[in-house]
Amino acid sequence: MATTIITKEQWAESERFIAKLKEDNARFAIKNGRTRLAHTETYGCQQNVNDTERIRGMLSEAGFEFTDDAENADFVIYNTCAVRENAEQKVFGRLGILKHLKETHPDLIVAVCGCMVQQEHICEKIRKVHNHVDLIFGTHALYRMPELLYRTMQEKKTVVDITDSDGSISEDIPILRDKEEKAWVSIMYGCNNFCTYCIVPYVRGRERSRKPQDIINEIKELVAGGTTEISLLGQNVNSYGKDLDIDIDFADLLRIVNDIEGVKRIRFMTSHPKDLSDKLIYTMRDCDKICKQLHLPLQSGSDKILKEMNRHYTKEQYIAIVDKVKKEIPEITLTTDIIVGFPTETTEDFEETLKVLEYVRYDSIFSFIYSRREGTPASKLDFVLSDDEIHKNFDRMLQVQNQICLEKNLEYKDRIEEVLVDGVSKTDKNMLSGRTDGGKIVNFTGDESLKGKYVKIKITNPKQWSLEGELI
Ligand code: SAH
Ligand code: SF4
Ligand code: F3S
């Protein structure tokens, strides 16, 4: 499917509303002696984090300032995730709290956007149960936010825009990022894979790749601002370029990024195993800036379940990829996603997954209990295992993996690692924290001024979830 780029005219229309909002905000400031404040909250994946940066970019141009505290805000916006039920529950919980806030702050404007509200039944539920929400818009309407917000403020009635489109990319939306040494750059949007458990293709639309030049320009701008680590982002980066008119694939894009001066580290997420090419493995091996880290979601180790999940690979094919990656890049750090309790999964199927964990020995895993998503094919299947059995399997898997994590980390004892310093550790305020090339967390003592710098650390005390070391 061809990629629709938001036309200059469409974006010009949004800019017209940014200007109107700006005028309105200026009038507000004169009348009230303060600037209007916006509060943004993001749920879900990096894709959403990236969208919120665009929302903040547009709000900033429209004259808003920001507050971390919803209670002080004039405009609160939740950018939501639909991937599992608990992500949605969190947002419903927050909306409940806002109802009380709105009673004491009647002028507060509340907006909900993103993946969750792209589903019609959720949108309906919000309108019924949380009628204090003023504005609802889906992932396809992001660029229209200025107009929608302006209408909400003028018309004083609920504005909803969850129209679907065949996909659109706007290269013009301003981005407001915190200045950091690390940045995420979207290289494509949407997903074509329709794994039977997953809601993402329904709420994000089909795959659309950004043009390489737009990606390069964004990275160059980031580097000029001091960023050195770039993470390329897409639901399945391995199919990058398939929808473009030019002949380029993900490995080619990686090489181009590898050549950009000032970039020191390149990471990417997510790689679907069915599309992982030998060319990509060789590119990772040969390009010095590409971190030797691969996130390769397995989901299940049972061929029967993989088929029912519509994953398009077998356990054997998956293991063959892992073997090849380990052979070409022996220092590779491997991570994965696993779903436990897919409806038709039996304990024998689950044990096949455990076998893969024991064979691959991942550095870490992200494990999820299956969550039924309305409208997906798997939602119609009956469960074989009880909730209790599923939870027991889940705990068993964590035990197996915890032991592997510890053993893998112990291999790092006395090694010297280059670490990009993130800043003060979240768990111990007396320590700094950063990540190795392979993405492992390293804690060490040092001066805060090292934030954003690359330092050499000797690992002295490997732990289950992180490494401890000393500056050398
Ligand atoms: N595009 C990425 C993943 C996006 S969602 C990929 O294909 O790898 C991130 C993870 O959430 C998935 O890998 C999967 O493990 C998990 N997930 C998706 N839908 C889920 C569901 N209905 N229940 C539980 N976990 C789910
Ligand atoms: Fe969901 Fe599968 Fe697409 Fe990942 S590849 S976003 S799991 S449908
Ligand atoms: Fe991401 Fe959640 Fe949407 S995982 S793409 S924010 S459904």
Q: pLDDT digit string (tens) for 258-311?
A: 999 999 999 999 999 999 999 999 999 999 999 999 999 999 999 999 999 999
Decide: 169 in ligand 3 pocket, CB within 6 A.
no
Burial of 90 (0-12, 13-18, 19+ CB in 10 A): middle
> What does the pLDDT read at residue 1?
32
> Is 469 within 8 Å of 457 (Cβ atoms)?
yes
**CATH class as words, domain 4-168:** alpha beta
Average pLDDT over residues 369-380: 97
169 has a pLDDT exceeding 80: no
Q: How far, in Å, from the CA of 300 to the mean position of ligand 1? A: 11
Report CA torsion sign: 273, 277, 280, 282: positive
Q: Which helix (H) or strand (E) holds 294?
A: strand 293-295
Q: pLDDT tens digits, residue range 303-356?
A: 999 999 999 999 999 999 999 999 999 999 999 999 999 999 999 999 999 999
14 Cβ neighbours under 8 A, 6+ residues apart: 58, 143, 144, 145, 146, 147, 173
> What does the pLDDT read at residue 168?
64
Average pLDDT over residues 379-395: 98
Average pLDDT over residues 12-22: 95
16 has a pLDDT exceeding 50: yes
Q: Do domains 4-168 and 416-471 have the same CATH topology?
A: no
> What does the pLDDT read at residue 3?
41
pLDDT, the chain, mean:
95
> What does the pLDDT read at residue 170?
78
Ligand (nearest to CA of 299): 1
Name the residue with the closest Cα to ligand 3, atom 1: 45
> What residue has token string 């299940």?
300
Q: Which of ligand 2's atoms lies nearest the C-alpha of 299? A: 7
Ligand (nearest to CA of 139): 3
Decide: 371 in ligand 1 pocket, CB within 6 A.
yes
Whole-prediction pTM: 0.94
Average pLDDT over residues 1-12: 63
Decide: 370 in ligand 1 pocket, CB within 6 A.
yes
8 has a pLDDT exceeding 80: no
Average pLDDT over residues 406-424: 97
Q: pLDDT tens digits, residue range 40-98?
A: 999 999 999 999 999 999 999 999 999 999 999 999 999 999 999 999 999 999 999 99
Q: Smallest Cα–Cα separation from 113: which of 187, 51, 202?
A: 51
- Residue 163's pLDDT band, with cuts at 50, 70 and 90, is confident
> What does the pLDDT read at residue 5?
54
DSSP label at residue 31: H
6 has a pLDDT exceeding 70: no
The ranges assigned to domains in the chain are: 4-168, 181-290, 292-410, 416-471
DSSP β-bridge partners for residue 135? 111, 159
Helix, strand or coil for residue 168?
A: strand
DSSP β-bridge partners for residue 421? 434
Q: Which helix (H) or strand (E) holds 468?
A: strand 467-471
Decide: 35 in ligand 1 pocket, CB within 6 A.
no
181-290 — its CATH code?
3.30.750.210
> Is 15 within 8 Å of 58 (Cβ atoms)?
no
Name the residue with the closest Cα to ligand 1, atom 2: 235
Q: How far, in Å, from the CA of 462 to the mean position of ligand 3? A: 33
Tokens of 470: 């000393």
Cis peptide before 270 (omega within 30 of 0): yes
In the CATH scheme, what architecture does the domain 416-471 have? Beta Barrel (2.40)
Q: How far, in Å, from the CA of 147 to the mean position of ligand 2? A: 31
Q: Which of ligand 3's atoms lies nearest the C-alpha of 46? A: 1
Neighbour tally for 353: CB within 10 Å: 24
DSSP β-bridge partners for residue 468? 443, 461
Name the residue with the closest Cα to ligand 1, atom 24: 370
Burial of 318 (0-12, 13-18, 19+ CB in 10 A): buried
384 has a pLDDT exceeding 90: yes
Q: pLDDT tens digits, residue range 174-188?
A: 898 877 899 999 999
Q: Which of ligand 3's atoms lies nearest the C-alpha of 200? A: 7
Q: Which helix (H) or strand (E) holds 150?
A: helix 145-155
Measured CA to CA, the distance from residue 345 to residue 348 in angstroms comes to 8
Helix, strand or coil for residue 348?
A: helix
> What does the pLDDT read at residue 167?
59
Half-sphere exposure of 65 (CA within 13 A, CB side): 9
Q: Which of ligand 2's atoms lies nearest the C-alpha of 311? A: 2
Decide: 70 in ligand 3 pocket, CB within 6 A.
no
How is domain 292-410 classified at the CATH fold level?
A: Transcription Regulator spoIIAA (3.30.750)
Q: How far, in Å, from the CA of 306 to the mean position of ligand 1? A: 13
